[in-house]
Chains A and B, each alone.
Chain A
Amino acid sequence: MFTAIAGVLAGCALNDTPSGSNVVPSGSTMVEPISDTVAPEVADSTPETVPTTVPETTTTLPEVDLKCVTILKCQFSYLVGADYSLLKLEFTDFSVANLQGAKFVRTNLKQSTFIRADLSNTDFTGANLTSANFTGANVAGANFTNANFTSTVICGLDLETAIGVTQTQLNDAQMYRTKGNKYCP
């Protein structure tokens, strides 16, 4: 299962990390693995942790819950033209990634991060962008037709260069000012 998704997400780091209730580092991302037979969907869902092999350790602490989660990080990655359509990529970190021309058609990107990513000419048609963060991203030519902008963080974007963004979508988003008293997150 992990091999399959790692292949799809070439260029991203996929880690197994010891995990207790608080063991995932702050700011880390988790991805819900997708079964080979799961039909694509965009519907919202709660992220799940996945038990995997427990790394060998030299000590045991009773407080530690040695379940593991899978962490997916695509930060700084070169992912030009990648096709992520129909996948569930909640909590994925695409910060500062080069995603020019990538496809996210109907992709579930809930709480994913695109801070300062190059999203020029990407296709987010029908994508679930709930609580995703687009601070400072380049969205020139990016298509957001019918994307779900619920609580999506919008700051430092030139939306006039994007395609398919409506006022109705923006009414659902978290809009920040690029400069002034309320800075980008």
Chain B
Amino acid sequence: MSVEIQRAVDRTPQPWKNGLGVQYEIMCDGSLPDDWTWRLSTADITQDVPFSVFPGVNREFCVADGNGVVLTINGVEHRCEPGSITKFRGDDEVHATLIDGPMKALNLMVRDGAVEKHLHVLRAGDSIGLNSQCVLVSIIEQAILDMSTGEVALDRLDAVLFFDHGIRDTSHVCQLARGTVAVMTAEGN
């Protein structure tokens, strides 16, 4: 299995579906606007805005940088702190209200019927077995990941991608030496 470090500064900005914000794709199994079954991306939220509507999609929203946001989901307000994960349906009515300044979010979208994928947050000292179904993203601060090949330093929103080349899907046990990361894992693998 090979590992690729994807730096946040190298990603290309793309407009949100509703045109009210900017996103940066980390990984996706298809292409925009709707030719995909899952998609992992970051987004800049610089003002109070409504989210785009994605019918038939499960969404997980992680506060990856900044002081968080209040998401009003179908009329219920949820205070989303840094490192929190909020789950909702893509056709829910969602409005974001910044708490204290702009923030960056990590967004996972999985279409109904696709293999389940979910986000988890790990903190310094935690360990995890990572395989080719996983993507790891540094959030909130700089992170240092202790892998079998050595230490990897990640700036905020940098990602680690894993590829198995179709030979054998082994897993790496990694330990987070410093920082906080969000990990996307696939269920049933």
Contact = CB atoms under 8 A, between A and B. Distances in A.
Interface of A: 13, 15, 17-18, 20, 22-23, 25-28, 55-61, 63-64, 73, 75-76, 95-96, 115-116, 135-136, 155-156, 178-179, 183-185
Interface of B: 1, 58, 70, 73-79, 83, 85, 87-89, 92, 116, 118, 120-123, 125-129, 146-148, 170-173, 175, 183, 185, 187-188
A18 B128 contact: yes
Given A13-B188, A75-B87, A22 B126 contact: yes
Contact of B121 (A25, A58, A183): A25
Contact of B173 (A57, A75, A156, A179): A57
B85 A58 contact: no
A28 B183 CA distance: 12
Given A13-B188, A96-B58, A156-B75, 15 more contacts: A13-B187, A15-B187, A23-B126, A25-B122, A25-B126, A26-B120, A57-B171, A59-B147, A61-B127, A75-B87, A76-B58, A95-B87, A96-B87, A156-B77, A185-B79
Nearest to B146: A61
Contacts of B85: 27
B149 to A, nearest CB: 9
A57 B172 contact: yes
Contact of B171 (A55, A135, A136): A55
B128 to A, nearest CB: 7
B152 to A, nearest CB: 14
A156 B120 contact: no
A23 B188 contact: no
A184 B77 contact: yes
Given A58-B1, A63-B127, A183 B79 contact: yes
A20 B128 CA distance: 9
Most chain-A CB neighbours within 10 Å: which of B77, B126, B170, B175? B77
Nearest to B123: A26
- 7 closest A-B pairs by beta carbon, nearest first, are A25-B120, A59-B148, A156-B76, A13-B187, A183-B79, A136-B76, A26-B121
